[in-house]
A and B are shown apart, each in its own frame.
Chain A
Amino acid sequence: MTSIPAPRIVTVRQNILKDNDRVAADNRRTFQSAGVRAINLVSSPGAGKTALLERTLKDLQGQLGMAVAVGDLATENDAARLRQWGVQAEQIVTGTICHLDAGMVQAVLPRFELAALDVLFLENVGNLVCPASYDLGEAARAVLISTTEGEDKPLKYPTMFNTADVVVITKMDIAEAVEFDLSLCRENIDRARPGVQVIELSSKKGAGLEAWYSFVRGLPLP
């Protein structure tokens, strides 16, 4: 076939992230057939994803088969922290990339014995913007916000909150000290994602964790 003389306009209408979404769909099927619920944890850096995971692994050990895939720009520090609790934690070093994508998750899955797991936590890179665009094939996306970050994060990063299946407010034990306005924060969350479940907790002091554990236990397969 000879090519037509240039230039010509063609309509493509294709999702730019279609390759990611195809791999995410593969991941979802893999999780489904293994009976694993994958939970994608996203937040800004320092909101307490690793602390919440540590506490969860410690408290639910023996009740649930759990493992973690941890995304970070560099270092194995978080994975090492999580392994202390006797679960498998695999680091995904993303290099310069500020989010996990479906391919990075797919690449790490063979290292897990998925059939033996109930829950696989995907600890995303600390960033409230970029991870929002990338479906990993998770059953649920948990967005964490800490009391030290102020109340307006949900309005500043609407896309991330807009795609949340649950919003977890962390570091509630110091809410008073940092003059955190809980009702304003809840109102902002509800604007960004009307009706979303909100859980308030403190990983350090243990308050509010039962609601989070109920969410983790009760999550249906995708």
Chain B
Amino acid sequence: MHEASIALSLIGVATEALHQHGGERITALTVRIGQWSAVVPEALQAAFPAAAEGTPLQGARLSIVSVPGVGACPAHGPVELQLALGLRCPVCGLPTPTLLQGDELELDELELA
């Protein structure tokens, strides 16, 4: 369970952006979490309020967008991966070792007040 550490890093990145944009506090934020990033959205959602306490993000609404894995299949081009099949094309089973998306761990948007 490293989502508590991820929540603290998230607060650090968000606070830095808040200062850059000259806001007082953050009322909402959106993050993008890849399904292949080893971060569980529910666990991050649970860890966030406690981590945000006493920071400019206290009480902020956290929205998490889950990003599916997309691999580059040599035969079929970009294909949506299934966790149970690993890095294999779900259509033909060829290896798709390159992830085109799905390992994101990204702060996307902030709502500032």
Contact = CB atoms under 8 A, between A and B. Distances in A.
B22 to A, nearest CB: 5
Interface residues of A, number: 41
B86 A155 contact: yes
Interface in B70-88: 83-88
Interface of A: 1, 3-4, 6-20, 97-99, 101, 129-130, 132-133, 154-155, 157-162, 188, 190-195
B36 A17 contact: no
Contacts of A16: 6, 9-10, 13, 31, 105-107
Interface residues of B, number: 40
Contact of A194 (B5, B37, B97): B97
29 contacts: A4-B22, A6-B112, A7-B111, A7-B112, A8-B23, A9-B109, A9-B112, A11-B108, A12-B109, A13-B108, A14-B13, A15-B106, A16-B107, A18-B13, A19-B9, A19-B13, A97-B5, A130-B2, A130-B38, A132-B38, A133-B37, A133-B39, A162-B36, A188-B86, A190-B86, A191-B85, A191-B87, A194-B95, A194-B96
